[in-house]
Amino acid sequence: MTIYLDNSATTPMCKPAVDEMYKMMTDRFGNPSSRHEAGLSAHTAMKNARNKVAKAVGCLPEELYFSPSGTCANNTAIFGAVRLMRRHGNRIITTSLEHPSVNEPLKYLESSGFEIIRLPADASGKISLSALRSALNANTILVTMMLVNNEIGVINPIADASQLIHQSGSRALIHCDAVQGFGKLSVKPAKLGVDLLTVSAHKIHGPKGAGALYVRKGLHLPAYIMGGGQENGLFSGTEATPAIAGFGAAAAALPDLTTQMNQMQAIRAHLLSRLSVSKHIVINSPADALPYIVNLSVPGIPSEVMINYLSDQGIYVSAGSACKRGHRSDVLSAIGMDAKRIDSAVRISFSRFTTTEDVDGFADCLLEGIPRFLR
């Protein structure tokens, strides 16, 4: 038995992406910057992929720039925005629940003299719009907020936050890390009201090694990766054309969002129903979280113990962000959770390929394991 329930860390590749990558690696392997036929063929494949990903994001192809990863795109968005706006101020507003690819650049900027305001979250992980309003001032140059938290699945009100920022008269740029929301929720930048938005291939059954950054048309974001000027200078370096083509194929293969959401809500409800028989299980994700993510704790059983036990049974889950391996969750700490729950937290994350049978296999194994370790 193998049951994979760690899709927030990465997803298995879908067949269209695998097939497209194989074609690129064997038949269309040229450098897309080369002017001969092999290069032009690769360049055409990249153009097709850009059109597919842009359609899935909901933006113009010329607003979409391929990057080596979501992390690289987040870094470029933050450092580029700061370089562009630093003459107007030094305040950056974010939340206390961001991914390390946002947190770490902000820590660096903070050590360099920028003022970082981290909006607190309540016990369910929600950010107060009134706190955002209070934090905005004339020196604010950037607001960066994730769409969906990768550990507990809370959904941030990006469109409402953007409207508030615009109505305040602030000139701040707005960046959204939409990596966990892309392919699950509508991420159309115009509707969200953002200037910059990050997505990644390997969260939507595409390959690792390809991300993308939306940059609003007319916004000239400075690059911080210098070199040959690929991606209109924003991400220099020879493009990973197989990964990019796979990204395009995965984006084109995304199913209808509403149908998929209904499927995931049913899967989540089934899991919670199965687990409700145990008084030892505490659900850490809010009730209105993205249904793809369920964070739970069995206080008294360390995460590592439970994850290793499940793994021995062929069931794969995680303790939280794969980027914080071996460290206590900053997200669960930020929402005021006690240490016993944090240290026993387990994240289950679904994909459109998750079945009821997968959920039953996990629930059976978890329920059987609890009395084994709680003595």
pLDDT in tens, 311-360: 999 999 998 655 455 567 889 999 999 999 999 999 999 999 999 999 99
- Structure token pair of residue 171: 């000139």
Task: Reply yes or no on whether 323 is catalytic.
Answer: yes
Q: What percent of the chain has pLDDT over 70?
A: 98
pLDDT score recorded for residue 327? 66
Helix (H) or strand (E) holding 105: helix 100-111
Q: What percent of the chain has pLDDT over 90?
A: 94
pLDDT in tens, 165-204: 999 999 999 999 999 999 999 999 999 999 999 999 999 9
Mean pLDDT, to the nearest integer, of 75-98?
97
Residue 233 identity = G
Angle, CA of 53, 59 and 61, to the nearest 5°: 60
Active-site hit among 59, 176, 323, 365: 323
Name 190's Cβ contacts closer than 8 Å, sequence gap at least 6. Answer: 58, 59
pTM of the predicted model, to two decimals? Answer: 0.95
pLDDT score recorded for residue 221? 96
CB atoms within 10 A of CB 293: 24
> Is the pLDDT at 151 greater than 70, yes or no?
yes
- Least confident interval from 124-128, 202-206, 244-248: 124-128
For the stretch 25-33, contacts whose Cβ atoms lie closer than 8 Å and that sit 24 or more positions apart, written own/partner, are: 25/242, 28/241, 28/245, 29/241, 31/238, 32/239, 32/241, 33/228, 33/230, 33/238
Mean pLDDT, to the nearest integer, of 209-223?
97
pLDDT score recorded for residue 199? 98
pLDDT score recorded for residue 277? 97
Reading phi first (left if > 0) and then psi (alpha if -120 to 50, else beta), residue 144 is in: beta
pLDDT in tens, 39-67: 999 999 999 999 999 999 999 999 999 99
Mean pLDDT, to the nearest integer, of 290-318?
97
Across all residues in the chain, what is the average pLDDT? Answer: 95
CA distances from 83 to 5, 78, 101, 141, 197 (A): 40, 9, 18, 10, 17
Paired sense of beta strands 211-215 and 282-283, if any: unpaired
Asked if residue 68 lies in contact with residue 211, where contact means CB atoms within 8 angstroms, the answer is yes
Paired sense of beta strands 211-215 and 64-67, if any: antiparallel
